[in-house]
Amino acid sequence: MTTGPASPSPSRDHIAGFDSTQWSVVLGARRDASDRPAALQRLCAAYWLPLYSYLRRRGHAPADAEDLTQSFFVYLLDSDFLDRPDPAKGRFRGYLVGALKFFLSHHFERTAAQKRGGGVQFVDWSTLDAEREFAACDQPLLDPSESYEKTWALTLLSRALGLLEAEQTAAGKARQFAVLQPFLSTTPTRGDYDAAAAALATTRTNVAVWVHRLNHRYAELVKLEVAATVRSPDEINAEMQHLLQALRR
C-alpha cells in the first residue's frame, strides 16, 4: 500500500463529507440521546478488536475478555462517555482506551456483579471468532498498550480494505479486485503480473495500471479512516506515521 506523497491527503471537503466517522458518531449521539445505543453499536462493531486485544494482553482469558468488552460498552451507554469527549483535545483511539482503563480500575467489581452483558448486546460474539482475529494480529511480546496500538492500526487498514472492495464490487469489478487484491499488501515477483493478466484476459500493462490505481485509492481510504479519529486534517500525516510504526512492532 502506498501512503507517501503519491497519495495526497483527502481534501477538507472530502473529510467533512465522510459519513459515520468516530467523532461524528459521538457528536451526533450527543445531540440526540435516542441515537446513543445505535451510535455505540456502530463504534463497537468497528473497534471491538483493539479493546479485546488490550484485555487479552493484560492476561484476561478469552471468555472474560469478551465479557469485559461487552460490559465496557454497557458502561459507556450508562455513563456520560458520549457527552465528555472533545475532538479538539485528541485522537479518538486514545480517548477510547483511556475510558477502558478507567472502567477497569473503577468499575470492575460493580460490573462483575451485574448480569453479564447488562441485557444489552453491542457485540454479537456468536458471529465472531474473536480468538482467531486476535491471534492473527497478536504478538506475545507486545505489552497491552502496544497490542492495542497495533490492532487499532490493523483495524483501520481492514476497514479501508472493506470499503475499497465494496467500491470495486459496486463498479462491477469484483473479479478484478479479487485477483489484484494481493498486490495491495505484497510486492509482486517476476511473473505475478503476467499471471494476473492471464486470469483477467488483459495485458500486463493494464494490470500494472489497475494495481497503481487501487493502491492510490486504498491509501486515500486509509487516510479517511485516520481522519475520522483526529481533531483536524492537519494531524492526518502524523497519525499515519504513528500507525505505520505500530504495524512494524
Reported as a single tens digit per residue, the pLDDT across 161-173 is: 999 999 999 999 9
> What pLDDT, on the 0 to 100 scale, is given for residue 96?
83
- Residue whose C-alpha is closest to residue 97's, from 85, 109, 111: 85
- Residue whose C-alpha is closest to residue 96's, from 137, 131, 57, 52: 52
In a 13 Å sphere around the CA of 144, the CA atoms on its Cβ side amount to: 14
Does the pLDDT at position 30 exceed 70?
no
Reported as a single tens digit per residue, the pLDDT across 81-105 is: 666 655 555 677 888 888 889 888 8
Reported as a single tens digit per residue, the pLDDT across 42-64 is: 777 777 888 988 999 888 898 88
Amino acid in position 171: A
> What pLDDT, on the 0 to 100 scale, is given for residue 20?
43
Pick from 3-7, 75-79, 230-234: least confident: 3-7
State the pLDDT confidence band at 41, using cuts at 50, 70 and 90: confident
Amino acid in position 78: D
Contact, 215 vs 2, CB < 8 A?
yes
> What pLDDT, on the 0 to 100 scale, is given for residue 86?
57
Contact, 46 vs 155, CB < 8 A?
yes
Percent of the chain having pLDDT more than 90?
A: 22
Does the pLDDT at position 113 exceed 50?
no
Mean pLDDT, the chain, whole residue set? 76
**Is pLDDT larger for residue 101 or for residue 228?**
101
Q: Which residues of 109-142 are buried (b: 16+ CB within 10 A; e: fewer)?
A: eebeeeeebbeeebbebeeeebeebbeebbeeeb
